[in-house]
Structure 1
Amino acid sequence: MTDPAAAARIPGPRGGGPSGPREPRRALALLASVGDQAASSLTNILVLVLAARLSSADGFAAFSMVYVAFSVLLGANMAYVGQTVVLERGPGIGAACRSAISFTALASAGAALLLLPVGLLTAGAGGRSFLALAAVLSLVLVQDGLRYCFSALRQPHRAFAADLLRLACVVAALAVQPRGADPGRLVLVWGLSALPALALGLYLLRPFTTGTRAALRPYLRRGHLGQRFLVEFAVGNGSSQLAVFGLGVFATPLAVGALRGATTLFGPLNVLFNSANAFGPPFLGRLGGRRAVVRATAGLGLLFALTGAGWAAVLYALPDRLGRELLGETWTAAAALLPATGTQYAVMGLGTCALLTLRVLSPKATLSVQVVFSLLSVVLLLVGYALWGAPGAAWGLAAGSALKAVAAWTRVARLRPEPAGPAADGSGPAPTAPAASV
């Protein structure tokens, strides 16, 4: 495997081979990458906003529980498949992309089978929603997985085109649904609206994979690099998602709806954090010394923290009338969580930049921080809910994010620089995972 920061400075293959499509110019590629990240994040934001406006508070709670389950599966696939395929270089990259898409299709079909008993055993609208998710899971996961293939091929404009179509189709499909629509119906419409983008993405990928064969065995071997990334996701992002999901199963789905509604309003910050994670390592790798990297990320972290606090202040001052236009009946419950969620995102900005620093200077140092403090965040979330309900859960997440940021920056202050190259066991620098969110 190749160090992503170094790989960003090394010209890669022209598409699928000598006769493949040419790479876009660097400036256009950067704009397309940022645009694709924005389109993908905006899709997730608008899906939740439209679902909240169309649903009752109980209906959006059921939809939110299913969307949390989907987010966990999406993140797991990103970690196990997406983060490994983007490390591929050389003439075999077309075969690697075919293998990644084939494995995603088979794995998502298996996950859909596991969702069927969940849907059958869950009563009411929640059960119907899980059955709908099982029906469309392969479509949405394969469509999202194409983004990582185009990233590895250095063809971000193709991913951008497919994700723009995805955004347009899902907004159009949900916008025409009647108010009070069953959450299962909304899940089904959301999933089926991925079909045009999936077809376009596969068509755009075809020139790079023609004549190649899929190899699935590497994904099942012990020591596959995705296993390390999956552990980081599980303890970093997946644990908090599953904890919120647990609130809906064992406590009340309304708490899930409130938490999901509040974090939806901070979607623009997720775009900002994810963009820093995507483009930060190559840029920081060119700065040279450790001091320059730390100075740059510390300044960026302060900027992110101020941006998060400012965005929280804007949302807190939003009139109730406009808030209900955004989230419908869920606005009242979500608005009560804005101080806590705003604090969480402010400290997440600091923590994101600390973990980004560790990724560049000492890639192996992130796992222990993620394991300890992500699990602590889950404990604080559950304790907060037990003591003060949904607001307590939100403040628990904020406290966990603050402690993780402090721990990460402490680790940055103490670390010694590691060699830039990848380790012999293939566990060298990896793409940075998206910022943790609920």
Structure 2
Amino acid sequence: MTAPEEEPPPEKPSDPPRTPRRSAAALASVLDQAASSLTNIAVLVIAARVSTAHGFATFSMVYLTFTVLLGLNMSYVGQAVVLTRGDTAATGAACRSAIAFTSLASTVVGVLLAAVGAVTGAVTGGWAGPGGAFLALGLVLPLVLVQDGLRYAFSTLRRPGLALAADTLRLACVVPALLLQPRHAAPGLLVAVWGVSAVPALLLGLRLLWPHVRGARADLRPYVRRGHLGQRFVVEFAVGNASSQLAVLGLGLFAAPLAVGALRGATTLFGPLNVLFNSVNAFGPPLFNRLGGRRATTRAAALLGVVLSAVGLAWGLVLYALPDRVGRQLLGATWESAAALLPASGAQYAVMGLGTCALVTLRVLRPRATLSVQVVFSLLSVVLMLAGYLLTGSALGAAWGLAAGSALKAVAAWTRVARLRVEGTTPTTAVPAVRAS
């Protein structure tokens, strides 16, 4: 997710008018977010179509691991570097340092994953089992993480159009590469093809970045110092998103692998809503900041939350009404198990719309108030998901547990907004938000 350019309140007489160039940059940021999200949706849909139900479950566990690692890198490196301010030399050095750190860290983690996959592959089915899939992830991890990390460098440089070019090429390469794979392809093969298909976009991104960082010196020391800004963002990501993702991964590794495939399949169908929610997180704070008051901000956020909730319910109804024939064309053998979760997933996304707007409101009015909500209710969502699975013995119970957790988080966040007593609070500059889950 690329960070929006911060704008001061427009009522000041000295404010410059919004130029066509800035409008084009905002449009490029939205399109880049859409291209990145569409890539994730396409990868999961195509993998489900060419895999068996067990194969997609294995692929989903590996892809979920990548999603967690991607979020950690986004939080520790990406969200910190986009806050860099200064002249061209300062931003160029920051971007080069961010890419260098991502390269080094992803290589270390990739080697560990590959080693674990190689050791377990001999026991768990070789290339076709989880071990082979994790081995493949370890080998391609530096490629995919650095390619994604370039988006944040371009955002820092105020060049979202360059990120859009690289991410569009990424989408154009990964879709045909996966579609060319044979039916019932091994999960390890799919992971390898998905990762290698990032090379053209990676090379293009590095080429586009080079003129902006030429002559700059990479400095990795800030990333290992205590108090690095990314440490705060990692904590919030860990409790807001990674906790539930790791719980789903643990469910697959130790209890029911097919449940992971069903949950991921259902979530994939709601991918367009993720694009919408991420856009609200990116562009909501600066827009709400311009409203200039607590009541106006809260009222606008509440209205937007109702709209997002209605969109979530409508999209869930559309998916629920899909004929099985169309569903199988989308998700292959995984459709039957994913379709059973659509009512629960639709309810979850409906309340997530409300929760997302509440958290964005808190980010604007009182940024420090979000962490406690994220910690308590994200962990509660994990507990409810596991409890739902244990009580029902199925992925459906886990899905309703996640929906209940999202609903409680939304209620808690809006309750916190309602309790803000300081009238006339001036909105503060928001830090990057974490999507409600």
| Root mean square deviation, CA, Å | 1.6
- The answer as to 2:374 corresponding to 1:370 is yes
Structure 1 position 96 matched with structure 2 position 94: yes
After the TM superposition, which residues 44-55 of structure 1 pair with which residues of structure 2 at under 5 Å, given as runs?
44-55=40-51
Matching residue of 1:404: 409
2:321 corresponds in structure 1 to 317
Q: Which residue of 2 aligns with 1:229?
A: 233
Q: Paired residue for 1:425? A: none
Separation of aligned partners in 2, 1:316 and 1:421: 41
- Is contact 2:4–2:282 with CA below 8 Å preserved after alignment? no
Aligned to 1:390: 395
Q: Please tell me the residue identity of whatever aligns with 1:322.
A: V
- The answer on whether the counterparts of 1:270 and 1:435 sit within 8 Å (CA) in structure 2 is no
From 28, 35, 57, the counterpart of 2:31: 35
Rounded to whole Å, the distance in 1 between the matches of 2:364 and 2:209 is: 31
Residues 1:433 and 2:399 are matched in the alignment: no
List aligned pairs for 1:144-163, cutoff 5 A. Answer: 144-163=148-167
Residue 5 of structure 1, CA deviation: 8.4
Structure 1 residue 31, shift from structure 2 partner: 1.0
Aligned-partner Cα distance in 1 for 2:130–2:363: 39
Q: Which residue of 2 aligns with 1:106?
A: 104
Q: Quote the sequence identity (%).
A: 70
Change (3 A) 1:419 1:284: closer
- Between the aligned partners of 2:33 and 2:248, the Cα distance in structure 1 is 25
Post-superposition CA distance 1:124-168 (Å, at most 9, x none): 211100000000000000000111111111111110010000000
The within-5 A match list for 1:184-333 is 184-333=188-337
- For residues 398 and 118 of structure 1, what CA distance do their matches in structure 2 show? 34
> Runs of 4 or more off by more than 6 Å in structure 1?
none
Matched-pair contact (CA < 8 Å) for 1:24–1:155: no
Aligned residues: 415
Q: What's the secondary structure of 1:288's corresponding residue? A: coil
Name the amino acid aligned to 1:353. C
Amino acid corresponding to residue 238 of structure 1 in structure 2 = A
Q: TM-score, normalised by structure 2?
A: 0.93
| Partners of 1:328 and 1:155 in 2: CA distance | 39
In 2, are the aligned partners of 1:274 and 1:435 still within 8 Å (CA)? no
Q: How does 1:33-182 map onto structure 2 within 5 Å?
A: 33-91=29-87, 92-119=90-117, 120-121=119-120, 123-124=124-125, 125-182=129-186
Report the Cα distance in structure 1 between the residues aligned to 2:361 and 2:245, rounded to whole angstroms: 25
TM-score in terms of structure 1 length: 0.92
- CA-to-aligned-CA distance 1:57-95 (integer Å, 9 cap, x gap): 000000000000000000000010010011001120110
Quick check: 1:262–1:341 contact (8 Å CA) kept in 2?
yes
Question: Which 5+ residue runs of structure 2 have no aligned equivalent?
Answer: 10-18
Verify: 1:414 aligned to 2:409, yes or no.
no
8 Å contact kept, 2:44–2:265: yes
Q: CA deviation at 1:420?
A: 5.2
1:116 deviation in Å? 2.6
Report Cα offsets for 1:80-118 as digits up to 9, x if no partner. Answer: 001001100112011000000000111111111221343
- For structure 1, the 5+ residue unaligned runs are 11-22, 423-428
